[in-house]
Structure 1
Amino acid sequence: MAVEQFLPDRGNARPDRPTLLFQRARVTAADERVFLGKLAVLAVLTCAGAVLALQHNLWAAGAGIILLAAMFTHAVELQHQCLHHSAFRRALPHRLIGVPLGLPLLVVYSHYRVRHLQHHRYLGTPQDTEFFGFDTRGPLTVPALLRGLLDYPRLGTVAAEVVRAATGRWTYAYGHVAPAMRRRIVTEHLLLGAVAAVAVVLTAFGHGEYVLRLWVLPLLLAVPLHFLVELPEHLLCDPDTTDVLHNTRSIRGSWLSTWFTNGNNLHVEHHAAMTVPINRLGERHTETKAFAVHVERSYADFYRVLWRTLRTGPSAP
């Protein structure tokens, strides 16, 4: 895998270590406006997808369902920024916005937040608890990738957690969680359960086609789509180090992939300083190219590397 190397400017010596990459930054009013703009684009495209999905023409309906699946995926990437409290200057709006962003893909905001922050803390150790189930530390095989791509059992797991929350039996399986956070997680599972119950009632009263086209079919497509977005972040990196310059990958990408993943392609930059507003990570990419081991130009480049690795093994040139 080719790694882009830093080229000194006008003969200046290469710095010994990054000077910007690990610096923290506060959310500004301008950052808030950028995020609100992203939410507005999400709303417009979701409405367009819903209108198309309900058309009688099958091609139009199919396009709408695909667009809705893409927006379900994009919404979780926006939710990811809310997890880190890097979208707004105050804490409260992150949960108010983050909870509904995850509902279409059955992602419970506060549960995701607890596990994802543990992922940041313990990346490179056995205690890593990334929320989505594919284990990049395990053997890389086609069956394992297919199980991750078609991770529909996660939907059943979420349903079981909703039942446990409703019956007072929900517990956190990955360590201690504060009582206040547990109440939040239980409440959000109950909210998801209420949304699912409404969908069941609508189906029972003869409106099942709306539920099918606007939620079920897009959800089934969004599961593999989200997997493909998340997969490059740590796969084929060094899983046995806590050094973010070795255990994480950045992909420069295009403006489209950067928008769609909400900057999650710049993943080294994100792990280096996780509370920096996503829209400001690009200015740190030059240092990532200089110091990080795993840097790709595009998602296509990553998937070519993955395909070659599956065919010939990780030690292939």
Structure 2
Amino acid sequence: MTSTTTARVAASERIFQRSRVAGRDQAAFIGKLCLVAVLLGAGTALVLTGKLPAQAAGALLLGVVYTHMVELQHQCLHHSAFVRVGLHRPVGLLLGLPMLVSYSHYRIRHLQHHRNLGTDQDTEFFGFDTRQPLTARVLLRGMFDYPRLGTVAAESYHSWRGTWQYGNGQVSERIRRDSMAEYRVMGALVLAAVAASIAGYGGLVLQLWVLPLLLVAAPLHFLVELPEHIKCDNDTTDVLRNTRSITGSWFSTWLTNGNNLHVEHHAAMTVPINRLRERHSAVRECAKFVEHSYWTFYRAVLREVLVNSTRPHGARADTRG
């Protein structure tokens, strides 16, 4: 075995190495939660100034934070945020509320995604098909996936009736019960927002939640999720080929909560997010799809969209790299 081959084997082993949550990992996550609280307060304060530029900045900041909160919820799904496992669900529930994402429903669907990645059974919670040709219409539909909110309303309705069922296989009664409880909370939150609007606070509901959710968080979340597997080798279960990592900047790493290091995450999904950067040099050496920045990825996507827009229907480019 050559020295180069030996080094690649060692790098690959480092990528897949498992580790448990330690006190320093929990402290790092709590620090992220504290920053979220500060940013939510800052966004709210800007909206409450009553001045249009400040209100717009506040709504934008809130939308960005709502997106970040779902990425923090994602870490809770994998039980890699807290030393005590029982903390993940209540914290994860709160983190998902602004974007109306059920922790328990998302968790079981997302773990199935990890298990089935690279097979025909792979489906993600947010439902974007990474195998379809990239067109402007497809991207816009994904960015402004408002029909998902109708799905959430239906899930909440069935949960209040006690008839909610998981639609992608069998789940335990505990998961079903937990999912229904979370959809009921979301339904109650929406009803409270409606009641506040009727009571004369509709402007605040619009600026603090509705507009940040619809105009910022929904499209931004799609753009965060898009690079993970699209234009990769979707016909293999090898995470070094079916998943993409992006080196990224400090801001993109913060915003996505390390989701840019996606090969690292799929290779060892219970490793705390704050430790994934340690494995990135090994991923750059071994993985097939590694980008320097999100901009380089999005430029490649836009190029393909432009190519597909000039091709006859049915002759569009494959989304694999």
TM-score by length of 1: 0.94
The residue number in structure 2 matching 1:249 is 244
The residue number in structure 1 matching 2:136 is 142
Alignment partner of 1:283 out of 278, 281, 285: 278
Larger relative helix fraction: 2
Alignment partner of 2:266 out of 262, 265, 271: 271
Alignment partner of 1:178 out of 157, 168, 172: 172
Distance 1:46 1:219 in 2: 13
Alignment partner of 2:46 out of 41, 52, 64: 52
SS in 1 for 2:306: helix
The residue number in structure 1 matching 2:65 is 71
Counterparts of 1:141-290 in structure 2, within 5 Å, are 141-220=135-214, 221-290=216-285
The residue number in structure 2 matching 1:104 is 98
Distance 1:306 1:293 in 2: 17
Counterparts of 1:25-40 in structure 2, within 5 Å, are 25-40=19-34
Structure 1 residue identity aligned to 2:129: D
Deviation at 1:134, TM superposition (A): 1.0
Deviation at 1:54, TM superposition (A): 2.1
SS in 2 for 1:289: helix
Structure 1 residue identity aligned to 2:18: R
User: What's the RMSD between the two structures over aligned residues?
Assistant: 1.5
Distance 1:105 1:315 in 2: 28
The residue number in structure 1 matching 2:310 is none
The answer on 1:301 being equivalent to 2:299 is no
Structure 1 residue identity aligned to 2:163: R
Deviation at 1:144, TM superposition (A): 1.1
Deviation at 1:310, TM superposition (A): 2.0
SS in 2 for 1:70: helix
- Tell me the number of residue pairs that the alignment of Structure 1 and Structure 2 aligns: 307
Contact 2:8/2:285 (8 A) holds in 1: no
Alignment partner of 1:292 out of 287, 309, 315: 287
Distance 1:272 1:213 in 2: 40
In structure 2, the gaps of 5 or more residues are 308-316
SS in 1 for 2:13: coil
The residue number in structure 2 matching 1:114 is 108
The answer on 1:123 being equivalent to 2:117 is yes
Q: What whole-Å deviation, never above 9, does each CA across 1:247-301 have from its counterpart, x for those lacking one?
A: 1000000111101100000000000000000000001011111111100000001
Contact 2:131/2:319 (8 A) holds in 1: no
Contact 2:231/2:319 (8 A) holds in 1: no
The residue number in structure 2 matching 1:43 is 37
62-71 vs 13-22, which moves further:
13-22
Distance 1:77 1:276 in 2: 15
Distance 1:289 1:316 in 2: 19
Q: What whole-Å deviation, never above 9, does each CA across 1:200-241 have from its counterpart, x for those lacking one?
A: 111111111111111111111210010011100011001111
Deviation at 1:13, TM superposition (A): 2.2
Structure 2 residue identity aligned to 1:275: T
Contact 1:106/1:192 (8 A) holds in 2: yes
Distance 2:243 2:320 in 1: 20
The residue number in structure 2 matching 1:13 is 4
In structure 1, the gaps of 5 or more residues are 1-10
Q: What whole-Å deviation, never above 9, does each CA across 1:2-28 have from its counterpart, x for those lacking one?
A: xxxxxxxxx952434312000100100
